[in-house]
Structure 1
């Protein structure tokens, strides 16, 4: 009983964590409470079914029957069978997610390698033996820091499509770190 409730709670949390909490807030017209409850029920049903369908082709009739039976507290399966079935679903969903991640990983690796190959041909790009590439924006004429020194500098990290994922410029303050401690 306790394990089933825990599995069900995890599934519900998973479902609701996928709901877009950051939707644009627009001025809404007043809605009748009963109408709002119907709209919310519909939207949740639509969203939950959509998210669950990403991993498994759901049978709409069986899904609806399960929801209705739960609402009426008249389950057609034993608690143990419900638990086993949800565990099977989680296993299938996890496997599909792993497969998607493997495909995306392979595609991203290929894109990344192509980017590095193309990028190293540019005249203003320096490529180290490790494969690290960088561009000197303004060369300094001071002493070179040792691996044990702490330095302060601005930087901007971007993905290969130009998306900025980290920037000391955006924070308005240079970063301070030990030279040997940087990735």
Structure 2
């Protein structure tokens, strides 16, 4: 499941607040250190809002989907995700209970050689976000969930706390169990 519930909830919340409401699903692929900081590498199979790509639609690149994943073809959108603050969320079921994990993070535009090193180590036809998550360790992020999917929505930094508070309240009113990383 991973992102269906949080993606829909975040879109509606951001839209109601008059904020950019583009959300996307990413796979938590892997990560590594660069100059003393651990950066996660989030990637998804070519479906990303142009607003999440550095340079927007003009910088997006189209590629044939890798046949290993998509034997019948199709196009993907690739590129480096832009820098900025974001809210992230993941959801899964435990029995009939929806468990929601929510947090914040920052996406970074790493220098081109480092970005390319990471891109070449994964599926280069897909968009790549290099990011740092607030308040959650690598082990806790991966051990506390049943999916590698994560929803991301860029949020203006001055609105980030308001969005997180409203999002958590929205989940709690829907009787979801919420874990907040901040």
Q: Place the TM-score, normalised by the shorter chain, in its bin.
A: under 0.3
The TM-score with structure 2 as length reference comes to 0.23
Larger Rg: 1
The TM-score with structure 1 as length reference comes to 0.23
Could you say which structure has the higher helix fraction?
1
Higher relative contact order (CA 8 A, sep 6+): 2
